[in-house]
Amino acid sequence: MIVKQAANVLDILEYFAREQRPASLAELSEHFGWPRSSCFNLIQTLAERGFLYEPKPRGGFYPSPRWLALAQEIASAEPLPEAALALTRDLAQLTAETIWIAAPSGQHAILMSVIQSKLAVRYMAEPGRRVPLHGTASGQAIMCQMGAAQQAAILRRAVFERYGSGSPMSIEEVEARIRTSLARGWFESASAFSQDLGGVSVPLPLGGKPFSVTVAGPLFRVLPRVGEIAAQMHATIGRHMGEEYLARNVPQLHRL
């Protein structure tokens, strides 16, 4: 269930992130199709709480630094280790594809840290995007770190939809993919959630919690390089986390 007022606040924040300029009450009301009075109340509330300000008199509203300050305080309480962030930077250079670290969130994997590919044709991802645990390489690489009971509970509640030609459509199929992936040393997606997207994922336990790291890009570019990308991921994880890291945390994947 979506709470409309909360969604409206997030829509405004995303609007400013995209436009990167002040906007008047009239512009925001017209853009979102909101009644002027409702838009006014929302803008005034955010302004009074210090989340919006007017850079120039009658020059429109813009987010204040308070958003950044709160985000930094929240992130500092449970940051991703620098070694994990460093390995994503290295993978971005090695593969030239989009890289992310994902964490579990209910039935989904949520993208925590993303580095976009600089290639003209690339997979566009952003922090906060959610993908189904059961239906993606990122999610399955997280699920394999969970106990059998937790995996079973996730699969019982899973909604099997045909997002693409590679979408798993049953509990048995997901379980088989996890077994196969553990045996060969990596997880992969091919049009599983996003059509024509290819991805290679490896479990990345951090602080006793299940995470995964993924390299993703257009299927035509990723599919022929799956084995090469997986080897680069293992080598990079070993370089940044220590060679014993894979054997200690994910012994099934200490293959390459």
Decide: 222 and 199 in contact? Cβ < 8 Å.
Answer: yes
- The span from the CA of 86 to the CA of 99, in Å, is 12
Radius of gyration of the chain (CA): 21
Calculate mean pLDDT across residues 152-181: 94
pLDDT for res 256: 47
Q: How far separated are the first and last CA of the chain, in Å rounded?
A: 44
Structure tokens at 255: 């293959």
- The span from the CA of 68 to the CA of 254, in Å, is 39
pLDDT for res 74: 76
pLDDT for res 55: 87
Q: What are the residue boundaries of the structural domains of the chain, listed by start?
A: 4-72, 78-253
Instruction: Inform me whether the pLDDT recorded for 251 exceeds 60.
Output: no
- Structure confidence by residue, pLDDT tens digits, 21-68: 999 999 999 999 999 999 999 999 999 899 999 888 888 999 998 888
Choice among 28-42, 192-206, 232-246 with the minimum mean pLDDT? 232-246
Q: Calculate the average pLDDT of the chain.
A: 90
- The span from the CA of 136 to the CA of 200, in Å, is 10
- The span from the CA of 43 to the CA of 51, in Å, is 9
- Please report, rounded to a whole number, the percentage of residues in the chain having pLDDT higher than 70: 95
- The span from the CA of 127 to the CA of 149, in Å, is 29
Is pTM, for the whole model, over 0.75? yes
Decide: 94 and 236 in contact? Cβ < 8 Å.
Answer: yes
pLDDT for res 70: 85
Calculate mean pLDDT across residues 178-196: 91
**Closest by CA position to 235, among listed 209, 255, 214, 215:** 255
Domain 4-72: which CATH class?
mainly alpha
Calculate mean pLDDT across residues 1-8: 85
User: Looking at the domain that runs over 78-253, which CATH code has it been given?
Assistant: 3.30.450.40
Calculate mean pLDDT across residues 151-175: 94
Strand 197-203 and strand 187-190: the pairing is antiparallel
**Closest by CA position to 184, among listed 151, 144, 131:** 144
- The span from the CA of 190 to the CA of 164, in Å, is 8
pLDDT for res 78: 65
Calculate mean pLDDT across residues 154-159: 94
Question: Among all chains, which residue has been given the structure tokens 């080897």?
Answer: 231
pLDDT for res 77: 65
